[in-house]
Amino acid sequence: MNDVTKDIWVRWRQTTRARIGLGRSGDALPTSALLEFQAAHGRARDAVHGAADFAALAEHLTPLPCLAVHSQAPDRATYLRRPDLGRRLDESSVAMLKDHAGDWDIAFVIADGLSARAVMTHAVPVLQRCMVGLAGWRIAPIILASQARVALGDHIATCLNAKAAAVLIGERPGLSVADSLGVYLTWAPQVGRADSERNCISNIHADGMSHDQAAATLLWLLHEARRLRLSGIGLKLDPAGVAALLPTST
C-alpha cells in the first residue's frame, strides 16, 4: 500500500465507523486490526448476554414510581431463542399491572432488549429530559421490563389502560457500537400492532444521537401523536419542531 493510498483511506476513515482500508499482513489482517475486531465482538456478546440492573435504574429515577415486570421468557437463553415470548407478559406481571390501571396518557417502558449496557447508560438521562416537557400529562409508573422485546410495550400499555407507550430498549449491538439505545412510540397500543404503526428513534449513543436530541425528538412525537391520535408511518417528523424543543446553550 503506497503513501497515496494510505492518505485516501485515512480521509475515508474520518467519515465512518466502518472498518475500511485496514491493510494486511501477508494474507491476513494486521494484528492490531484483528485484536480490535475481536474486542468489538466480545463487547457485542457481553451486551447481548448481560443483565440490566433494574434496581439501580429505579434508584436513579427516584422519586418517579417504578414497577418491575417480566416477559414470558423465563431466562436469557430462552429469550434469545424465542422472540415471541419476549413480546408478552407473564401472568404475575399482568395481574400486577392491572392493579395499577388508570386513565394514563403515556406508559414509559425501560426494557433490557439486546443491550443491557445501552439501557444502563442512556435510558435514564433520555427519559428525565423528556419528562420536563410533559407537564399536565398523566404518566403511569415507569415500567422496568426484563427479557423484553419492543412489542411487550403494547401488552404493558393495554394492562395499564394507557393511551400511548414509549419503549426505551437496548438495540441489537454491532461491531462498531454495543451500547445503542432505541425508543419506540406507539399510539393506542394493543397486542398485535405492526411495526409500521410505531415511530422509532434509533442510534442513541456517544457517537450517535445525543440524549438531548433523542429526548426532544421523543417529546415532539408524543405531542403530535396525541394531537393527531396516531403514530407510525402517518406521523412524519418535523426537524424544525424538534429543534425548537432542544435546550438552548448559554
Half-sphere exposure of 68 (CA within 13 A, CB side): 11
Domain regions of the chain by residue span: 49-245
- Going residue by residue through the chain (250 aa), what tens digit of pLDDT does each one get? 445 445 677 778 777 877 777 777 788 888 888 888 788 788 888 888 889 999 999 999 999 999 999 999 999 999 999 999 999 999 999 999 999 999 999 999 999 999 999 999 999 999 999 999 999 999 999 999 999 999 999 999 999 999 999 999 999 988 788 899 999 999 999 999 999 999 999 999 998 999 999 999 999 999 999 999 999 999 999 999 999 999 875 3
Q: CATH classification of 49-245 is 3.40.50.11240, yes or no?
A: yes
